[in-house]
Each structure stands twice: as C-alpha cells, then as structure tokens.
Amino acid sequence: MTRIDAGVEAALARDADGEFTRHELEGLPDPVRRFFRGAIAPATPLARSARIGMKGQIKIGRWLPFRAREVLTPHVGFLWAARAAGIISGADRFVDGRGGMNWKLGGLIPVMRAEGPDVSRSAAERAAAEAVWVPTALLPRFGVEWSAVDDSHVRARYQIADYPIDVRYTLAADGLVQSVVFERWGDPDASGEFGLHLFGGDFTAHGAFDGVIVPIEGRLGWHYGTDQWGRGEFFRYRITDLTLRGRRPSQAQSGS
C-alpha cells in the first residue's frame, strides 16, 4: 500500500481541543443534538484530525479492489493514498489550499494526473463528504452552523479553505447518519466542463473507535438521488481502523 507522506501528515494534523460535554450542544436543534449524542461519547477528546485505514472497491472503468490510508482534517484537507488491483497506486489530496491527483501503473507509468482550480475545489468539497468520519470536527465550536429540516434531516454549513460547504444528512432514530448529499464541483461525465452536481451516498454500517461512532461501510458517488446514480456511484468502502488525533489506533467494533 502507498504510504502517507510524513510531511503532508504533519501539515494536516491538528491537536484535540478539549473534551466533549453536553455544553457543546447548547442551542442546537433536537435532531442535531441526537446526531452528536449518538456519534460522540462524553469526555471524548475533541479531535479535528484522524488517520484512517480502509478497503473496498473503486470504479475505474470497472470495479477494482483497493486498500488505502488517509489523513483527514475536514476543515483543512486530506491525503488519500491507495493501491487498486495491486498494480495502480497513487494519491488524491487537498493540502495547503490545492488539490491534486497522481496515479501510476506499477509505480512507473502515469495513469492519471490532475491539478488546477477546478480540481482543488472538487477536492476540498470531497472532504465534506468524509467529515462524518471525524464527528468531533463538526461541532459548532469549529465554525459549523447547524439547522434541522425536520426530525430526520439536518443541514451543516461551514467553510473548507475558500469554499463554502452546505451538506445535508439523513438520520436514523438513534441519530446515526444514514446518508449524505450535497452539490459538489466536478465533471463526473467527462464532458470537459466542470459544474455543480449532486454527490453523496448511503451508509450501511457503523462502528465505534475510542469514543466516536462513525459510518464504517457505505457507497458514494455522483448523481446521488437521481436516475443517474447507477452510473455515478464509484466508491464502496469499509473502514478497518481509525485513529483520532491524540488517540491510540483502534479497530472498528460493529455498531450496526
């Protein structure tokens, strides 16, 4: 598996800021409170970063197996380093305000390389889809504005670098996230023109890691919730380990 660059990890990492108490939820709508109570145990360090291991399938023309490691700081960026089908390796990133992709076959032959303003915006907004893996980073103290549409649908607005984020979550009765959807900048149909398209997916299992419960299994992609979802889905994952900043590595314990 491709290794995480230590310098990039240091640039993305942020220390925990206090511990989770009920005071963090004061003034929030009831469904949002239910989400945080279901996702974060009392006295959990308020981590802003996580190191994540995962495996699954990714659609690159056809579905290929992959294994990956990621450093994720939702308000700052991420580095996702992976190997697919044992022969394609590389990384997607949003670091220091810039996004990029760099993938090679056998570590030598370029398969995909992309950067620039459009790629940067799309990469920044990708972090919004993955922010549920670090629920402590979504607390209001970190600049997230929450609202409730109804008892099972909530909305989070915040900023990633220069890009405004507006994400909608569907919640189960216990507060766990069932799905996510938002408009993301991209060119999912390879038309040559970037624009806003629905992006999201379903979460099918949850697991516990040292005080947080996160979606450990699901599927994500473009055109979520539309009749084009069948061709837009491209990512099926299962988290195998997750370390919050300042915590020891933890194996997932199934929560659903």
Distance CA 60, CA 141 (A): 38
Q: Rounded to two decimals, what is the model's pTM?
A: 0.90
* pLDDT tens digits for range 170-203: 999 999 999 999 999 999 999 999 999 999 999 9
Distance CA 121, CA 119 (A): 6
CA angle, residues 94, 79, 135, in degrees to nearest 5: 90
pLDDT one-digit tens code per residue, 90-118: 999 999 999 999 998 877 787 888 999 99
Q: How far is it, in rounded angstroms, from Cα 208 to Cα 39?
A: 9
pLDDT attached to residue 2? 59
Find the mean pLDDT for residues 59-66: 93
Q: Taking Cα atoms as reference points, which of 159, 122, 154, 132 lies closest to residue 218?
A: 132
Are 164 and 157 in contact by the 8 Å Cβ rule? The answer is yes
Q: What is the rounded distance in angstroms from the CA atom of residue 63 to the CA atom of residue 61?
A: 7
Structure tokens at 232: 């837009």
Q: Are strands 163-171 and 50-60 parallel, antiparallel or unpaired?
A: unpaired
Q: Please state the domain extents for the chain.
A: 6-254
Burial of residue 136, with CB atoms counted within 10 A of its CB: 0-12 exposed, 13-18 middle, 19 or more buried: buried
Burial 192-228 (b: 16+ CB within 10 A, else e): eebeebbbbbbbeebbbbbbbbbbbbbbbbbbbeeeb
* Residue 24: φ, ψ to 5°: -65, -20
Span 233-250, pLDDT tens digits: 999 999 999 999 754 444
